[in-house]
Amino acid sequence: GIEHIDSYVFNKAEYVRFNSTVGRYVGYTEHGLKNAEAWNSDAGILGQEQAELERFCKPNADIYYSAIRDKT
């Protein structure tokens, strides 16, 4: 299957991430935990992230896979 991950990085350190398999944000720092809590309680934000899987990831997956296959 396809997994959509949206990472947020500050000063080269990931502080929060959306993972479509989990279906929610996960925070890795104090600031990231606060963001994750707020964003996970917002159905609109979660819906936008989930929609990226359908809008971008799935339609483009074959293009990326074929490019990878061509290089191996």
> What does the block give as tokens for 65?
């896979």
pLDDT, tens digit (0-9, with 9 covering 90-100), for 5-44: 999 999 999 999 999 999 999 999 999 999 999 999 999 9
Whole-number Cα distances in Å, 72 to 11, 65, 67, 68 = 34, 11, 9, 7
Give the CATH number of domain 5-70; options: 3.40.50.720, 1.20.1070.10, 1.20.5.510, 3.10.320.10: 3.10.320.10
Q: Are 44 and 28 in contact (CB under 8 A)?
A: no
Has this prediction a pTM greater than 0.85?
A: no
Q: What does the domain layout of the chain look like in residue ranges?
A: 5-70
Opening angle at CA 15, ends 42 and 27, nearest 5:
50
